[in-house]
Structure formats: structure tokens, C-alpha cells
Amino acid sequence: MCGIFFSLGSSEPILPNKETCNLLRNRGPDNFQVHQVAQNAKSSTAGLVAVHLTFVSTVLSMRGDHVVSQPLVDAATQSVLCWNGDAWKIAGNPIQGNDTELIFKLFLEAVQPRPGQTDSQDAVCRLQDVISSVSGPFAFVFYDAVNSRVFFSRDCLGRRSLLQGVDENGNFKLCSLCDSSSATHLEEVGSDGVYMIDFTRTVLETPELSDSDVCFNIDSIQILPWGSASTGQLRNPIPPMNKTIPEGPPPPLTTDSVCITTLEQKLLQALSLRVENVREPPMMKPEDNAKIAVLFSGGLDCTLLARLCHEILPSNAAIDLLNVAFENPRVAAAAVAAAKGKAPAPGSVYENCPDRMTGRSALAELQKVCPDRQWRFVAIDVPYAETVAHRETVKRLMRPHNTEMDLSISCALYFASRGQGTVLDHADTTPVPYTSPARVLLSGLGADELFAGYGRHGVAFSRSGFEGLVEEIDLDVSRLGKRNLGRDNRVIAHWGREARFPYLDEEFVSWVVQLPVWERCGFGMPDTETDTSTALDCEKRALRLVAQRLGMPQVAREKKRAIQFGARTAKMEKGRVKGTDSLD
């Protein structure tokens, strides 16, 4: 995980302010570096004008055997790369060692002129081919000094944050996050392609109120969209959704169905890329021994990842399960009112949180099926006063998102990813303070979209059958990069940790979307269970069957619950607020 800042100053170099620098350092505590370049650019009225390019990178070093400082600068051409990503594969081949250096090498080779080349557009095509070959999440800024261009992008699923905008002085900025002074003019870079600023074309204009100064024209940015061509164009790794409709009731799914056994193997492969060869966190104590942690509610998606981690990691490696619960004053007041003088319900306000209860239940099942693994359940209890104390920081990190729901979800992710809570001692009697050293956090995000896990999927099927269900799933998958991944990245990375999403691995997503819908969920399918107490829900039935195969029948039956309700971050002060309401 890295932090990126880039600016195009029309009259002077533009550096990030102190607050932005601090936030970027939180994302990448291992390295901070600034690089500046002068570049001529065309103006609509003033001819060629010298502009100032500023590149700032911070680094959270996760791969290879040494820290690679950024921005990377090519001594021969003065080209520059700021890379925030994890390239798991290039052209289908797994990468060993540091990915940033390899990506920069391939970018430089792509933009070099070739014998007989007369049009630098050929370099753009070659660069698109390189980007298309990358499998993994990324956001980057690349300055091609050879052809006087800047390229920037997020991957097609939008798993890394990158914001763009023109400030009040006409300077163009890109940044991994907002600070308090930039919330009004920054918006998320789309995940619909690679964006290009070509300095051989007009990129500056003269403002109406000035005769001499120039500012950046954001309309001069060109987009190279994701497409389906084989060469010379960005190739979207995610194929179109399989919209086949069954003729009559589909065949029932069982734990031995080919699609279920294959699903388990595909998910295992996606997870392996994300948990193997992780560098040991700095200052990790031998007794801690946890490189990997799971954002853990006890629900189906995250518990399945934890269970599969057991199949991959060495037997002596601990796995931290980060389970967050909040003191919600509105819920507490309602409980007191409902008691009407009776004795309060047993357990603390945190232990009575829905996600804490399912988390402990799922832990017990993991311990039963994998008794030799050290499962470290980190109980993260957040008093209301602490929520209030951190609220402005959370709001700043989630910007430009600005609704009540954004805040509820972001608060849960913010405190969970901090990893600071308590664990039980060896006697399993006394909670002791503990902060997870793990820099890799696994998230189950993406499972609901791919396997029809939301309530609206059932509604769509009830209204319009399989046609409506497929359309709803297709909509969810298509807008993954436009919705919440950038926000979640900004919030989680604040603690110098990196969230990884196995369900959003490109190869895994590609395989899932090509399955017929009835091999992903159980809608329209006759139940094979005779005992209704053990019947599996239709939502995400394929994943539920994998959980059963892996010895977790209780987890296989867990209901879907949104994080803001499970952790009780929603509606803390007033109950009538809507999730879509904008914050004051």
C-alpha cells in the first residue's frame, strides 16, 4: 500500500500541505519522497508555457526483500512512476519479488520509440497492452518524459483510491486521499479506463478574470477506456455476465457438485496469492507470529476466508480475527426502556453486539475443525466517547463520500483495521491488551455482489424471476469500481495496513460471472434438505455449500447482516436518520 500525490502547477510547484503529508505517511510509513519536473505545455493563448510537475510517494513495503523508494525515476529519460498496487501476475505469470520495479521497467520499454516509428501513438498502444496484462489492484501516476505525457488510472474494479481535481488556483491534483482543504474540488478517478494528459496538445487555458495567468483545463484529459480488443487497447479482464436462463427448475446444488468443488479451488488460488510470501511486519514479537488478519464479523464470507487460510499458511502461523463492536447510546437507551425495571440482559454492551456474538460462534467452529491452528480473536471494543473523538478523522478519510451510511461503515472499518483490542490469555479467562502486527487484512467484500447475497436479489427474483435476478447481479458487479472500494481503501490504509479482497481477484471474478446464475445461488431451486433447521438460504448458496464441505455447518447457515448494524455503528444518536442523508 502506498500514498500518491501529484500536481501540475501552472505558475509554481504545488506541494501537499502538512495535513496531507501526515495522512500520506500514515498510509506508507516505510518511505517518503518528493520529485519535481519542469515540462513545457501548450496554452490556448500563451503558446508554450513551463509547468511544474510534483510527484510525492509514501511506501508501505509488502513484497520483495527490500524497501523500494518511490517515486521511481528513470535516470536516462527522467520518466517517473508512483505506483500503489499489487501486481500478482503479468500476462498470467506470477510475479516473484517487488512488483513496482517490474511495472516501471515494462512501462519504460513500452514508451521507447521503435525503429521506423513515426507516430508516438504506437507507444500509447504498447502501454495499454502492458496495463492490460496486469492482474491485481492498482492506482498509479506515470510520467512518460519521452513523449511528454502523464498517465493515471485505477484498476477496472477500483480497489485502490485515487482522487482528482482542479483547485481554486487552477492547479491540477491527484491524491490517494482528501485533506480538509481539498474536499470541495476532488472526486474519485473513474475505474473506466486510463486517463492521459498529452502536453503536445493544448492543456492550459486563460481564466476569464486574468490576462496573463493560465490554469489547467480538465477537459483536456483524454480517457483510454477498457475494451475487448486483443491488442493496442485496454482489455477488460472481466467478461460479460452469463445471462442464460434455465428451462424449468435448475438442478439442485450439493457439496459434491462440480461447480462447488471447483469454486473451492478457485477461491483457494485467489487467496494463496494474497497470503503467501508476506514480509514479516516490523517489530513483530515472536510470540505474536501473525502476518495475516481477517476483518472478522463471524459471517459466511470472512469465516470462509479464515478457514481457507488454514489450508495455505504454515501450521505455526497465528491468524488474527479482528472483531469490532461499538457502544451505541441509542441502542443502550432502548434496552433500558424495554427492561422497565427488570434486570439488564447478561453480558456487556459489546458482547451483546450481533457481530460479536456471531464472531465468537464462528471462532468456536473454526477451533473445532482446525484445532491445531492458533486463532487469535481480537475483541475491539469502541466506547461511544472514542467514536466521537475520532469522527472528524473518519469523515476526512472517507471524503468525498459524505452520507450517514458512509460514516457508519467507515467507522466500523476504521476501528477494526486499527487492530487494537484485547485477547484472552492462555487460560482463556483474562482479556489482555493486544494490537495486531499484521499488515495484510483480508476482507470478504465482493461475495454478496457475485453470489446474490443482498436482500434485493431475492426481491428481484420474486418480481422478475431469473431475468430480474441476473440483471440485478450484473448491475452490482458493473458498479463495484464506482461505489465504495475507494472509500474503504482510504479508511483502512490510514493504519499502515493493506486490505486484500480474494473475492475480487480478476481470474476469480471472471470465472464466477461466466457461471450460470443457478450455480451461484439457490433461487428457484428445490431444497434437498428435509429438516428445515439445516436448510441453506438461497443467497450465496454456493459459498454456503463450500463452508459445509469445510466442516462449518453453523457458519453455512449465517444470515447476511450489514456491517453498520452488526457492529452497531448505525444511527448512534437518532433513529430516524436515513443512510442516504448527507452529513451536516
Q: Is the dihedral of CA 173, 177, 183, 188 positive or negative?
A: positive
Residue 481 and residue 460: Cα distance in Å, rounded? 22
Cell of residue 491, nine digits: 479508511
Amino acid code (one letter) for 510: S
Average pLDDT over residues 496-522: 96
pLDDT at res. 214: 83
Average pLDDT over residues 268-275: 97
Residue 27 and residue 110: Cα distance in Å, rounded? 30
Is residue 530 pLDDT above 60, yes or no?
no
Edge-to-edge strands of the sheet including 2-9?
Answer: 187-188, 163-166, 172-175, 2-9, 47-59, 31-43, 202-205, 215-216
Is 2 designated active site? yes
CB-CB contact of 491 with 219 (8 Å): no
pLDDT at res. 206: 81
pLDDT at res. 532: 42
pLDDT bucket at 467, cuts 50 / 70 / 90: very high
Residue 97 and residue 87: Cα distance in Å, rounded? 11
pLDDT at res. 246: 92
Convert the pLDDT of each residue in 277-317 to its tens digit. 898 887 778 778 899 999 999 999 999 999 999 999 999 99
Convert the pLDDT of each residue in 25-59 to its tens digit. 999 999 999 999 999 998 887 788 889 999 999 99
Contacts for 279 with CB less than 8 Å, ≥ 6 apart: 61, 62, 63, 64, 291
Convert the pLDDT of each residue in 111-143 to its tens digit. 998 887 666 778 999 999 999 999 999 999 999
Cell of residue 235, nine digits: 482489455
Single out the residue of 434, 438, 446, 445 nearest to residue 412, CA to CA.
445
Task: State the catalytic residue, choosing from 2, 175, 302, 411.
Answer: 2
Residue 161 and residue 88: Cα distance in Å, rounded? 18
The separation between CA 474 and the C-alpha centre of its own chain, rounded to angstroms, equals 19
The DSSP call for residue 484 is T
Residue 281 and residue 431: Cα distance in Å, rounded? 24
N-terminal to C-terminal alpha carbon distance within the chain: 31
Ordered by start, the domain boundaries in the chain are 2-225, 258-444+479-504+561-567
pLDDT at res. 307: 98
pLDDT at res. 343: 58
Residue 126 and residue 108: Cα distance in Å, rounded? 10
How far from 525 is each of 331, 368, 449, 519, CA to CA, in Å?
Answer: 38, 31, 20, 10
Is residue 121 classed exposed, middle or buried when 0-12, 13-18 and 19+ CB atoms within 10 A define those classes?
Answer: exposed
Residue 196 and residue 202: Cα distance in Å, rounded? 13
The DSSP call for residue 250 is P
Mean pLDDT value across the chain = 90
Cell of residue 133, nine digits: 496484462
Provide the 3-class DSSP secondary structure of residue 456.
helix
Is residue 529 classed exposed, middle or buried when 0-12, 13-18 and 19+ CB atoms within 10 A define those classes?
Answer: exposed
pLDDT at res. 184: 59
Convert the pLDDT of each residue in 397-416 to its tens digit. 999 998 999 999 999 999 99
Q: Tell which wins on pLDDT, 262 or 535.
A: 262
Q: Tell which wins on pLDDT, 139 or 582.
A: 139
- Tell me phi and psi for residue 71, to 5 degrees: -65, 145
Provide the 3-class DSSP secondary structure of residue 86.
coil
How far from 512 is each of 351, 448, 532, CA to CA, in Å?
Answer: 36, 12, 28
Residue 264 and residue 157: Cα distance in Å, rounded? 22
Amino acid code (one letter) for 145: A
> For the stretch 367-385, what's the b/e string if a residue is b when 16 or more beta carbons lie within 10 angstroms of its beta carbon?
eeebeebebbbbbbbbebe
Single out the residue of 390, 394, 26 nearest to residue 176, CA to CA.
26
pLDDT bucket at 248, cuts 50 / 70 / 90: confident
Residue 82 and residue 295: Cα distance in Å, rounded? 28
Name residue 325's beta-bridge partners: 381
pLDDT at res. 531: 43
pLDDT bucket at 533, cuts 50 / 70 / 90: very low
CB-CB contact of 440 with 275 (8 Å): yes
CB-CB contact of 23 with 58 (8 Å): no
How far from 338 is each of 325, 334, 344, 577, CA to CA, in Å?
Answer: 21, 6, 10, 21
Fold of 258-444+479-504+561-567: Rossmann fold (3.40.50)
Average pLDDT over residues 78-93: 95
From the CB of residue 33, how many other CB atoms can be counted at a distance below 10 Å? 16
Residue 180 and residue 235: Cα distance in Å, rounded? 37
pLDDT at res. 209: 52
pLDDT at res. 21: 95
Instruction: Please state the pTM of the whole predicted model.
Output: 0.93
Amino acid code (one letter) for 236: N
> Which segments of 372-520 does DSSP mark as H helices, in order?
384-398, 404-418, 447-451, 455-478, 485-492, 506-513
Verify cis geometry, omega within 30 degrees of 0, for the bond prior to 502: no
CATH code reported for the domain at 2-225:
3.60.20.10
**Least confident interval from 101-105, 212-216, 410-414, 555-559:** 212-216
Q: What count of Cα atoms within 13 Å lies in the side-chain half-sphere of residue 357?
A: 13
- Tell me phi and psi for residue 112, to 5 degrees: -70, 140
pLDDT at res. 528: 53
Convert the pLDDT of each residue in 60-72 to its tens digit. 988 877 889 999 9
Residue 265 and residue 541: Cα distance in Å, rounded? 16
Cell of residue 152, nine digits: 493515471
Helix, strand, coil content of the chain in percent (nearest 5): 35, 20, 45
Is residue 448 classed exposed, middle or buried when 0-12, 13-18 and 19+ CB atoms within 10 A define those classes?
Answer: buried
Is residue 213 pLDDT above 80, yes or no?
no
Strands 202-205, 292-295: pairing kind: unpaired
From the CB of residue 230, how many other CB atoms can be counted at a distance below 10 Å? 9
Provide the 3-class DSSP secondary structure of residue 48.
strand
CB-CB contact of 204 with 51 (8 Å): yes
Average pLDDT over residues 550-578: 82
- Tell me phi and psi for residue 131, to 5 degrees: -60, -40
Average pLDDT over residues 337-348: 63
